[in-house]
Structure formats: C-alpha cells, structure tokens
C-alpha cells in the first residue's frame, strides 16, 4: 500500500493512495471513537513505551510521557541518539534517544495502519518542515525505515500542501495565475511557501518558516491568562495546557468567551482579550512571510499569485484567517481539511499514476568555513543556496593544493542568501571535519589540536565532494589525493566516519 504520512508536532496523519482517491486513515481511540489522526504522543506504562491514544490516556493518569517530540528534532545539533526525557522532572522519568523513540512511535503507527487496512507492505512519502535542517531529515528517514516503512521519498510539507491545493482548486489556477502561497500553521511550526503550479507540474519557488511558532504557543498564551484567574487548586502545568488546548479548539467565530474546563472550576476569558493577546503570534507569521507576500501585494491586477491557501490545524482559530484576510483580501482560502492537506498531498506524490507532481528546492543553504589555521585564516564558501533544485542528486566537487598540514572544515546551514550571495538569517553549525594533509598524522590517528597546524610548501592536493540527494540530505567527503586518505560525514550522523 502506498501512503502519504505527515508526522506532525501534535497530530500524525496518514492518507492512502486508492485508485485516484486519497482517503485519510481513521484511527480508533480507546473508547472506540474514530479520529483522522494519531496523537503524536508517547508515554511509559509498566516500563514499556506506548504511543498515540494509549499514551494520551496514560499521561492523563499522571504517567510519564512526552508530547511534541518533533520540536526537539528541529534542534540543529540533533542526531539519532540525542536524548529526550519522558516525564521530565518526575521520579519515573525515562531518557531515550530521539531516533529510537520516534522509531518506536512509528512502529506503532505501522502496526495500526496494517491492522486498519489489512496491507502488509507499507510504502510512504513522508513530510518534513521546509526549513528542516539536514539532521532532522536524516533522523526522520531513519526512524521511518527502522519502523518498517519503505520510504519512497521525502517532501517539504508546504510543497505537499501545494499538490493538494492543485488537485482541489485547479480552477482558480489558470495560465496567468499559476502561483499560490501555502500558509501552514501547525502545532509547533509555521511554514509558508510560494508554489508555482503550471498545469500539473508544480515547482516550489521559495519557502520561509519558523521552527518555534504553532498552535501550542496559542495554548501557552491562554494558560498564562488563566493562571492568575484560578481560584481553586492549581492544576499541573501539563493538565492546564491540555485544558487550554481543548478550550482554544472550541472557539468559534461567534464565541464570546473561551471556557477552560478544569476538574474543580471553569475559567472564562473573553475571546476579544484572548485574541488581542494572540495577535503578536499571528503577526510573527506575517512578518516571516514578508519575502513571499511582497509578490502578492504588488498590483493585484497584475499579480500572478492566485491566492493564499491556509492549512494546518491552528488556522482553525478564527483570529488567524481573519487577520490574514485583513491583510491580503479575498484571495485567502481555507482548506476544507486543514489538518489533512499535507498528508493528502504526500499521498498524491506517492501515487505513481497521479498526473500531479512537484519539484522541490533545498529551502536552506549550506556552506563551509574552511579554516587553514584553526580560525586564524577563514574563508567561507556557499556550497548550495535555497534555490538549488532537488529533482536529482547534485554533486559538487572542488580540488586545490592545501597550504597547511591540517584543514578544518566547519559546515553550517543558513536560512537564505542575499541577492549578492551573502548568507543571511540563522547560521547553524552542523558538522566539522578535521583533515590532516600529512601522512604521518594520518597514520598516527591521534586527536589533532591547533598546535599541530603549520604552513607547508608544496602541500598535498585535496578534493572535496558534496552530494545533495533529492530529500535534501547532504554528504561530504574530503580526500587527500596524495595519500588516498579520506574523511566523510553525512550531516546528521553522530560524528564523521573516518575511512582510510
């Protein structure tokens, strides 16, 4: 069975490929009620990990658990073994590698989907935030594989939502207006992408995003407003936040009050006050969209942007589409199933017979600080920027004669480059390789330090090779051409694997 799977911060949604249709898989909770998602929650019961609805119940009973693991994945330093703690701060806390935890969660998802669909083999196109670092891509793919899925491909989430929009709204797209902006406000992340859909082949022109903005921040604002209004016993922070999430999801366009139901009391907060407190969150998303929305605001008659497609569960909060419509007018559309659009788009990508396809771009750039003298002399080279197309693997190779006996390569990712090519936005280190261009040092295998570095005449020839695969994963290899010694790393692994 072919599927699209959207591993979300709060909800995991799976859509099936079924003869030209893309139905969303229904999961049963412990009361037998069906839902179009599996909660992205894990917990510990009697020493064993449980996931999804079972984990939600366990956490409600006070057992150690964890929500929103995906937020930890966005840490640029993340690797498969980065520790995460379930029940942090309690005496029953359990610490486990994030990759292992995710693989166990996805193993549960795999078993559930097999049970529901009766299919044995599950092949999936999986999603990842557009601005995800290489480490996040790597850990996500590995966890899906470990869980038993065959990974057909990885697509940026907004690109997937663009495919779903193209299928649903093809009539708003015409030969003149072929571009759409996907506004995706999920549980923990915000992504916006400009997608061009000419005919059935789409192309992501540009994406921007925030790793730290989503529906959970709206829960937190509500919890902060509720705390001073409590008159009875103060619930645990987790219980209060959960009650706030439920209250927030109950807000309708005509609601006057947000009602937070707690075991001992109901806290009432006027919607107008709550919305005012939330406005800065929505404005952050608008600000982050700046580079894309300038295209929309320029003379609407001549703009080739057909509209803004709003997806992600947090766009169900009435304030969000209202504010976006105030700013951008009538061309704002809400997806009929805001939590399912991404998974449906991923399923479209997984369907070998679908006429719709999409070409992605890197959406983050990466480059290398080449330090010939441990920081004394530094050159920065952009190896690929956010415009790089990802339809097929890209290889970049460079050769030069080294001027020192040791080279230090510090790899960084950055959000985007200025028109003149200078990296801008957050610059995050994600790997380092130290390469001795010296046979004796290569053979000794000892740890090198700055005192070992000195300039050399007639140094060894070096070759750097970078391969960027269509999922956006980067691998780097640096070879001493004189001796054949090489060091390589896949960005996201624990440490470079050194081969001789």
Q: Does 452 bind ligand ATP (CB under 6 A)?
A: no
Q: Choose the one of Mg ion, ligand ATP, none that binds residue 11, judging by a C-beta under 5 to 8 angstroms depending on kind.
A: ligand ATP
With a CB cutoff of 8 Å and minimum separation 6, the contacts of 369 are 378, 379, 380, 409, 410, 411, 412
Q: Binding string, 351-370, against ligand ATP, x = CB under 6 A? A: --------------------
Between residue 51 and residue 110, which ones bind ligand ATP under the rule CB under 6 A? 70
CA-wise closest residue to 75 among 137, 139, 135: 135
Residue 63's CB: how many other CB atoms inside 10 A?
A: 18
Stretch that binds ligand ATP, among 41-49, 142-150, 214-222, 289-297 (CB under 6 A): 214-222
Pick one of 10, 104, 479, 490: the residue that binds ligand ATP (CB under 6 A).
10
Q: Does 186 bind Mg ion (CB under 5 A)?
A: yes
Stretch that binds Mg ion, among 6-14, 202-210, 260-268, 405-413 (CB under 5 A): 6-14
Pick one of 4, 8, 209, 459: the residue that binds Mg ion (CB under 5 A).
8
Pick one of 245, 361, 370, 410: the residue that binds ligand ATP (CB under 6 A).
245
CA-angle at 68, arms to 231 and 46, nearest 5°: 85
Between residue 417 and residue 446, which ones bind Mg ion under the rule CB under 5 A? none
How many positions of this chain bind ligand ATP (CB under 6 A)?
A: 22
- Let me know if 374 is exposed, middle or buried by CB neighbors in 10 A (0-12, 13-18, 19+): middle
User: Which residue, 293 or 339, is less far from ligand ATP as judged by CB?
Assistant: 339
Q: Does 11 bind ligand ATP (CB under 6 A)?
A: yes
Identify the DSSP state of 459.
Answer: P
Q: Are strands 305-311 and 332-334 parallel, antiparallel or unpaired?
A: parallel
Cα of 241 vs its chain's centroid, Å: 23
Q: Does 188 bind Mg ion (CB under 5 A)?
A: no
Which residue matches tokens 């006027």?
Answer: 270
**What are residue 233's DSSP bridge partners?**
none
Q: Choose the one of Mg ion, ligand ATP, none that binds residue 293, judging by a C-beta under 5 to 8 angstroms depending on kind.
A: none
3-state secondary structure of 472: coil
Stretch that binds ligand ATP, among 2-10, 232-240, 427-435, 474-482 (CB under 6 A): 2-10
User: Which residue, 358 or 383, is less far from ligand ATP as judged by CB?
Assistant: 358
Q: Does 186 bind ligand ATP (CB under 6 A)?
A: yes
User: Which residue, 314 or 491, is less far from ligand ATP as judged by CB?
Assistant: 314
Pick one of 76, 215, 345, 492: the residue that binds ligand ATP (CB under 6 A).
215
Please check whether residue 307 is in contact with residue 5, taking contact to mean a CB–CB distance below 8 angstroms.
no
User: Which residue, 211 or 479, is less far from ligand ATP as judged by CB?
Assistant: 211
- Let me know if 19 is exposed, middle or buried by CB neighbors in 10 A (0-12, 13-18, 19+): exposed
Q: How far is the CB of 67 from Mg ion (least distance, A)?
A: 15
Q: Does 492 bind ligand ATP (CB under 6 A)?
A: no
CA-angle at 435, arms to 429 and 436, nearest 5°: 150
What DSSP line would sit under 338-401, residue for residue? Answer: TTTHHHHHHHHHH-TT-S-EEE-B--SEEEEEEETTTTSSEEEEEEE-TT-B-SS-EEEEEEEE
CA-angle at 48, arms to 26 and 263, nearest 5°: 65
User: Which residue, 214 or 367, is less far from ligand ATP as judged by CB?
Assistant: 214
Chain contacts with Mg ion (rule: CB under 5 A)? 8, 186
Chain contacts with ligand ATP (rule: CB under 6 A)? 6, 8-11, 70, 186-189, 214-216, 245, 248-249, 312-314, 316-317, 339
């Amino acid at each position: 069975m072919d599927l699209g799977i959207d591993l979300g911060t709060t909800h995991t949604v799976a859509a099936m490929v079924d003869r030209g249709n893309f139905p969303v898989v229904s999961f049963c909770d412990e009361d037998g009620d069906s839902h179009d998602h599996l909660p992205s929650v894990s917990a510990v019961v009697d020493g064993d990990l449980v996931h999804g609805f079972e984990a939600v119940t366990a956490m409600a009973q006070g057992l150690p658990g964890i929500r929103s693991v995906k937020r930890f994945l966005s840490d640029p330093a993340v690797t498969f073994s980065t520790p995460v703690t379930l029940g942090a701060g309690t005496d029953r806390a359990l610490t486990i590698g994030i990759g292992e935890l995710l693989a166990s969660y996805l193993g549960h998802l795999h078993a559930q989907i097999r049970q529901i669909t009766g299919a044995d083999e599950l092949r999936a196109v999986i999603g990842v935030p557009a601005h995800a670092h290489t480490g996040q891509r790597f850990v996500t793919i590995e966890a899906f594989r470990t869980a038993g899925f065959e990974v057909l491909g990885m697509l940026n989430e907004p690109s997937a939502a663009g495919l779903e929009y193209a299928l649903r709204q093809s009539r708003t797209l015409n030969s003149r207006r072929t571009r759409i902006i996907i506004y995706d406000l999920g549980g923990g992340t915000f992504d916006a992408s400009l997608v061009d859909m000419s005919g059935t082949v789409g192309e992501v022109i540009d994406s921007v995003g925030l790793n730290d903005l989503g529906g959970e921040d709206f829960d937190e604002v509500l919890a902060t407003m509720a705390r001073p209004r409590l008159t009875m016993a103060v619930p645990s922070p987790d219980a209060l936040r959960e009650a706030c999430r439920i209250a927030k999801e109950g807000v309708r366009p005509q609601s006057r009050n947000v009602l937070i139901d707690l075991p001992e009391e109901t806290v009432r907060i006027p919607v107008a006050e709550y919305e005012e407190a939330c406005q800065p969150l929505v404005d952050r998303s608008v600000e982050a969209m700046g580079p894309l929305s300038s295209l929309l605001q320029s003379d609407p008659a001549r703009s080739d942007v057909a509209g803004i497609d709003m997806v992600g569960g947090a766009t169900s909060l009435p304030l969000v589409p209202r504010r976006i419509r105030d700013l951008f007018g009538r061309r704002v559309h809400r997806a009929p199933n805001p939590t399912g659009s991404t998974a449906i788009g991923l399923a479209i990508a997984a369907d070998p017979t679908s006429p719709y396809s999409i070409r992605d771009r890197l959406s983050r750039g990466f480059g290398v600080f080449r330090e010939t003298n441990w920081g004394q002399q530094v050159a920065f080279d952009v190896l690929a920027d956010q415009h790089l197309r990802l339809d097929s693997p890209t290889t970049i190779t460079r050769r030069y004669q080294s001027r020192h006996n040791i080279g230090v390569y510090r790899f960084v990712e950055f959000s985007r480059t200025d028109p003149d090519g200078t990296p801008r936005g957050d610059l995050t280190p994600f790997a380092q390789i130290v390469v001795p261009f010296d046979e004796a040092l290569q053979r000794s295998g000892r740890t090198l330090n700055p005192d070992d570095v000195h300039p050399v005449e007639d140094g060894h020839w070096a070759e750097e090779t970078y391969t960027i695969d269509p999922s956006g994963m980067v691998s780097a290899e640096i070879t001493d051409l004189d001796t054949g010694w090489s060091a390589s790393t896949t960005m996201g692994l624990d440490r470079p694997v050194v081969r001789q």
